[in-house]
Amino acid sequence: MPADTRRAWETVLRSIEADLLSGVLKPGDHLPPERALAAEQGVGRSSVREALRVLEVLGLIRTATGSGPSSGAIIVALPGGGMSALMRLQVAAQGFAVADVVKTRLVLEASVASELATACASDHPTDSGPTAPDLSVARQLLDAMDRPALTEAEFLALDAQFHLSLAEASGNQVVTAMMAGLRSSIESYVQAAVPNLQSWPQTSVRLRSEHRDILAAIAAGEPTDAAARVRAHIDGYYEESRITPGPAAPERALSA
């Protein structure tokens, strides 16, 4: 049996994935203790730990020291962190071009806006049924962004939260996680590009206005308009701030 052709930690990872797929492990469940896993898989504890580390970074488990029901490794399945780590590191390692990240964000976010607007349109104004997207979080964030004392970093953080809240309102967790990852991967670039703006106060006013317009188009149930406004919003900002794409277009991440 060529069972040990894989590295030891990989067998552990596969085993856990299989248990997940087969339903033996579900969100909320505790993983066996590291020492027990090591024994039952016939590997060393360090190999188990490497597998668990991967699961933790990918957002699948949460580990806690101590004893009791809240300790140990617990399945959580929170994809946000893992996606962010993946995107950040890939951008840092030039596996992803910043321009591609922005373009992808554009596509996803326009789709989200369009979808939300469609959902709003299909609901009667008085009907707050299950299909009506909840835009209250987005509205609160917009209000928070109107506070005059915000620093640039605080404003940008709220900005990110606003865009993310739209994705969350759409209910698509995959898109939400992806957008969170995309955003965090270029966060440092966005921050660094603020000085490139001709006038921050002027820009922030424009951004606020565009945000309101986007939300209005969504609430009005105008998919095409909402998507177009989102595109213009994002494109406009990156155009103006001239995000330095770093190594522009890397020929290709080395293939071999």
Partner DNA sequence: GCGTAGACTGTGGTCAGACCACAGGTATTG
Partner DNA sequence: CAATACCTGTGGTCTGACCACAGTCTACGC
Residues that bind DNA (CB under 7 A): 7-10, 31, 33-36, 38, 42-47, 49-50, 52, 63-73
Residue with Cβ nearer its own copies (11 or 203):
11
CB of 82 to DNA, least distance (A): 16
CB of 233 to its own copies, least distance (A): 17
Residues 220 and 222: their CA atoms lie apart, in Å, by 6
Residue with Cβ nearer its own copies (60 or 219):
60
Q: What is the CA radius of gyration of the chain?
A: 22
CB under 5 to 8 A by kind: which of its own copies, DNA, none does 68 bind? DNA
Residues 251 and 178: their CA atoms lie apart, in Å, by 24
CB of 36 to its own copies, least distance (A): 19
Residue with Cβ nearer its own copies (133 or 155):
133
How many Cα atoms are found within 13 Å in the side-chain-facing hemisphere of 201? 2
Cα dihedral 74, 79, 85, 91, rounded to 10, equals: 160
Q: What residues make contact with its own copies under the rule CB under 8 A? A: 9, 17, 20-21, 25-28, 46, 49-51, 53-55, 57-60, 75-79, 82-83, 85-86, 88-90, 92-97, 100-101, 103-104, 107-108, 111, 171-175, 177-178, 182, 188, 250, 253-254
Residue with Cβ nearer DNA (74 or 132):
74
CB of 12 to DNA, least distance (A): 9
Contacts of 252 (CB under 8 A, 6+ apart): none
- Report which residue type is found at 34: E
Per residue in 73-111, is it b (16+ CB within 10 Å) or e — as a string?
Answer: bbbeeebbbbbbbbbbebbeeeebbbeebbebbbebbbb
Residue with Cβ nearer DNA (67 or 255):
67
Residues 209 and 233: their CA atoms lie apart, in Å, by 10
CB under 5 to 8 A by kind: which of DNA, its own copies, none does 245 bind? none
Pairing of strands 61-64, 72-75: antiparallel
Coil, helix or strand for 63? strand
CB under 5 to 8 A by kind: which of its own copies, DNA, none does 235 bind? none
